[in-house]
Structure 1
Amino acid sequence: MTTDRSIIVDSLGVGLATGAYGVSFGAISTASGLSVLQTCVVSLLVFTGASQFAFVGIVASGGNPLTGALTAVLLGSRNLFYGVSMAPRLDLDPAARLATAHFVIDESTAMGVTRETTRQARLGFYWTGISIFVLWNLTTFAGALAGDAIGDPRTYGLDAAVGAAFLGLLWPRLASWRGRLVALIGAAVAMGLVPLTTAGLPIVIGGAVAVLAGLLWRPVAA
């Protein structure tokens, strides 16, 4: 039986693995021309890694900041699907939903959506989301201050740590043939679009296709 303590421990582990990668964003952002203050404000207000990296990547390549912002919004749109799935599980009043929306990210959703009770869903969601938010912003600040002295964060394997952590969260959800097939369809669509579309768009489209496939193939209650 899953205990409250084990959920909190797992959530903090995910928070540590994911939040540590904020140092990479901080270093890359300042190297792209943003100030330390601007970098920290982006992490505080945006707080979704893929969107943040997309924005600074476009700015660094000489692109229009508005284009970068629109791309970031497109990438962040996946959180809308997460919010829809988490709302009934967290069972919050309107004011609490508004305050909670900022913490709806990949990892917090994955740690909350699998729980059997509202209490445990809230534990997994909040402990994960808040721990990542705090650590992500602290490491963003550290990375922005250190700048080029850190070097390429991929040297330390931090880029792989985030993907590995999320895969670990996703894996238990693929126990059925239907879940595995939906995941494969979404991944195939995303990978096929990589050479054909701009950065960030494949994962958004692939995710949307996976959601649609999952809804269409949802078992019908007897």
Structure 2
Amino acid sequence: MRTAERTVRSGPDRAVLRDVAAIGAAMVAVGASFGAMAVAAGLPLWAPVVMSILVYAGGAQFMAVGLVAAGSPVAAVLAGLLLNARHLPFGLTLGGTMGGRLWQRLLGSHLMTDETTAFTLARPAGPARRRAFWIAATLLFLAWNLGTVIGVLAGGALGDPAAFGLDAAFPAGLLALLLSSLRDRDTRRVALVGAALAVLTTPFLPAGLPVLLALGGLLVLFLPGRSTDPPTDAGPTAGGSTAAGPAGGGAVGVGSAAGARAARPEGAPC
């Protein structure tokens, strides 16, 4: 029985590894661009490496380096807090998935990114979702830090990853992961309204605010006249059991991730 369980479990885990590898490859390149930019901005070689390990906030790291180079370290801290405020709903959604122990939640909150959240919510609730979270979180963290080290060592020779189209890998990967959640009508409405709010306000607001405004898409759920009928079951399967889909909770991830690309510089991972 244990051998059979391991065989069933290894299939989805291999699928997660395959999908994470595609995003991780692009993340290495973007992380290398961050490392090279940080060194070019005058930071010591160790600074971007330590930042990627202890901060691990992709888009906020790009912004912080630019502001520090401009002589505004306080603004860098405040802007980073604002940009990463979207992780609050992520944490509320994934808190139970990380594990019941305090160290698991602390470590998981540090490794949580937009991409990790999308990978996790694309899996059914339970052990499969927990394994998906830790696989994606660990591998993407390693990919980002590997890229940073490469960028620090290579200097400015790597250039801008947007020139190779690598910045498009992140929104494309997120969209692919969230397609299954968009089958629900309410989730589609939340995602579309949140994306529209983020895109329309991006030219007028500082980075980070459009992402937070994207959460306004959740107000669609409170509109009068919206159908509140529970979804019907798929009915008994051939084996006599009832087919049930993944548990809910993707609406927050879709609404937040749909707006995240609008404000995050160069498709950075978190």
**TM-score of the superposition, structure 1-length normalised?**
0.87
Q: Greater CA radius of gyration, 1 or 2?
A: 2
Equivalent-residue separation in structure 2 for 1:212 and 1:63 (angstroms) = 39
Q: Does 1:46 align with 2:55?
A: yes
Equivalent-residue separation in structure 2 for 1:218 and 1:75 (angstroms) = 34
Equivalent-residue separation in structure 1 for 2:161 and 2:22 (angstroms) = 20
Q: Which amino acid aligns with 1:30?
A: V
Q: CA deviation at 1:211?
A: 4.2
Q: CA deviation at 1:134?
A: 0.7
Residue aligning to 2:150? 142
Question: RMSD value over aligned CA atoms?
Answer: 2.4
Residue aligning to 2:30? 21
Change in Cα spacing, 1:78 to 1:36, as seen in structure 2 (3 Å) is same
> Which stretch shows the higher mean deviation, 5-14 or 44-53?
5-14
Please point out which of 188, 197, 201 is paired with 1:189: 197
1:14-63: per-residue Cα shift (whole Å, max 9, x none)?
A: 33333432112112222222222111111111112121122123334x25
Matched ranges for 1:60-75 at <5 A: 60=69, 62-75=70-83
Equivalent-residue separation in structure 2 for 1:9 and 1:215 (angstroms) = 38
Please, which runs of 5 or more residues in structure 2 have no aligned partner?
A: 1-7, 232-270
State whether residues 51 and 76 of structure 1, in contact with CA within 8 Å, keep that contact through their aligned partners in structure 2: yes
Matched ranges for 1:68-147 at <5 A: 68-147=76-155
Q: Which amino acid aligns with 1:33?
A: G
Change in Cα spacing, 1:212 to 1:59, as seen in structure 2 (3 Å) is farther
Equivalent-residue separation in structure 2 for 1:91 and 1:145 (angstroms) = 37
Report how many aligned residue pairs link the two structures.
220
Q: Please give the secondary structure, in 1, of the residue aligned with 2:83.
A: helix
Equivalent-residue separation in structure 2 for 1:40 and 1:218 (angstroms) = 50
> Which stretch shows the higher mean deviation, 165-174 or 124-133?
165-174
**TM-score of the superposition, structure 2-length normalised?**
0.73
Residue aligning to 1:203? 211
Q: Which amino acid aligns with 1:186?
A: G
State whether residues 39 and 152 of structure 2, in contact with CA within 8 Å, keep that contact through their aligned partners in structure 1: yes
